[in-house]
Structure 1
């Protein structure tokens, strides 16, 4: 490790961050102490403290005077799969749930999203809800569906079952493709209220149009807590065979 050009504390923080991302420790668990990390990495206490300070600043760890350093949070992240929130969270070993805020037919003219016109209908079915991970609010969802599909979804318990899970397993609709856009945003009054943030706090805004063939079946506009959720994109060099590894 010492032969690498990057500063030692940066190398250590990177390695520890990867372990945190891979959920090697649970939220609330005691993190290894400075002496243990000094032995593992064969570095000085100053180097270890600088690495840990970086992870504390990023929100991964929390120092508690007289008690030690504890795991503060772990990100929920998505890859390039057409999966629903419930599937993603369960795969990470957490417990997903939802609070349904609105289930009703709406006139698309009352909304500003131009993509709604792709449905070729003046009215759609809106499912609005807050989704939680282990009872912590993560995302405010506004999901628009053709009325006949939305009415069927509304018959299910959406507090403990995801819409994609219902669509594919219960209704037999196999979503084939989605166009997804992600951008930075700030929390407005509504987002701040439901996500337990302050107005103006940074959030992620994701907009996704899902298709069945060339027919749109859902427009989802989601607002995520940026400190709890992120997107990970795996990039592959076309000159590298799959068995040679994934570039990230």
Structure 2
């Protein structure tokens, strides 16, 4: 239970008390921090059910409104989610990629210790749509090479990538092992292209039937869609549509006010 004098140890199922100055922190903050710690240290693993409000009231010795304030903060942070009539559950942590530098997906995820691989859905020459042609500075209808991949993170589908390249470059890429290698790495290390920058556009869309089936999500659920045009010097060489599961992945960016 939370005590109201001096310093206190918050009761928790992990039996690893957190020492807090009660005079400085509201009760709901103490409850929130104790629960957050137990979520982050694995005491409550992803998708497990949290104790009921009544159990928390008894364990912490606080009121129901205090427990609800603490749970509300954790829900806003994305650490838990609520199911009507069933209670609170621990959210699955989202993988993330920083947009502060240009990286391939596998390259970015490897830094965090994630396992990645891809299934190549198709690799073929197609006629450039007006949008693709405008991005790659070619004629509408001109032949380009399209590569579609279903990408996996820790053996779960995470994104569908649809990429367009100048024809000869795409044909060369299709000969490589795209199941385990990033296209950016191939472009730079094998084909000698110095990737310099990319233009990005992000939006949320609803998954259609095909996308939902590929990503193993419900049709109509939110998906993060990125358009990315990557340059080698001043030449655009890679235009992509990237569709990420909104429940499992996020992008992060630090913005300075200067």
TM-score surpassing 0.5?
yes
Which of 219-228 and 44-53 deviates more?
Answer: 44-53
Give the aligned partner of residue 182 of structure 1. Answer: 202
Whose Rg is larger?
A: 2
Query: Aligned partners of 2:236 and 2:27: how far apart in 1?
Result: 50
| Pairing 1:156–2:158 present | no
Structure 1 CA distance for aligned equivalents of residues 208 and 240 of structure 2? 18
User: How much does 1:169 deviate?
Assistant: 2.3
* Two-structure CA RMSD over aligned residues (Å): 3.9
Using the TM superposition, give the Cα deviation of residue 186 of structure 1 relative to its aligned residue in structure 2, in angstroms. 0.8
SS of residue matched to 2:137 = helix
Provide the C-alpha distance between the structure 2 equivalents of 1:105 and 1:161, rounded to a whole number of angstroms. Answer: 21
Name which of 186, 189, 208 aligns with 2:228: 208
CA distance in 1, matches of 2:206, 2:81: 25
Q: Whole-Å Cα distance in 2 between the matches of residues 234 and 24 of structure 1?
A: 26
Decide whether the 8 Å contact of 1:85 with 1:162 is kept in 2: yes
Contact 2:205 2:224 in 1 (8 A): yes
5 Å-filtered alignment, 1:137-176, equals 137-176=157-196
- Give the CA deviation at 1:165: 1.9
Within the candidate set 55, 75, 96, 1:77 is matched to 96
How far residue 209 of structure 1 moved from its aligned partner, in angstroms, is 0.4
Query: Given the superposition, is the C-alpha separation of residues 112 and 209 from structure 1 closer, same or farther in structure 2, using an over 3 Å criterion?
Result: closer
Provide the TM-score with structure 2 as the length reference.
0.71
Q: Provide the rounded CA distance (Å) in 2 between the counterparts of 1:171 and 1:72.
A: 42
Which residue of 126, 129, 134 corresponds with 2:146? 126
Superimposed CA distance per residue, residues 154-201 of structure 1 (whole angstroms, 9 cap, x where no aligned partner): 111111111112222222322101000001111112211111122211
Shift in Å, 1:214: 1.4
Alpha-carbon offset, residue 45 of structure 1: 7.5
Listed as ranges, the gaps of 5+ residues in structure 2 are 1-21, 83-87
Distance 1:155 1:44, change over 3 A: farther
Q: 2:135·2:229 contact (CA, 8 Å) conserved in 1?
A: no
State how 1:40-119 maps to structure 2 within 5 Å.
47-48=66-67, 50-52=69-71, 55=74, 60-61=79-80, 71-79=90-98, 80-109=100-129, 113=132, 115-116=134-135, 118-119=137-138
Q: CA separation of 1:152/1:186 partners in 2, compared to 1, >3 Å: closer, same or farther?
A: same
Alignment TM-score, normalising by the size of structure 1: 0.73
Structure 1 stretches of 5 or more lacking a match? 64-68, 239-248
Separation in structure 2 between the aligned mates of residue 82 and residue 94 of structure 1, nearest angstrom:
18
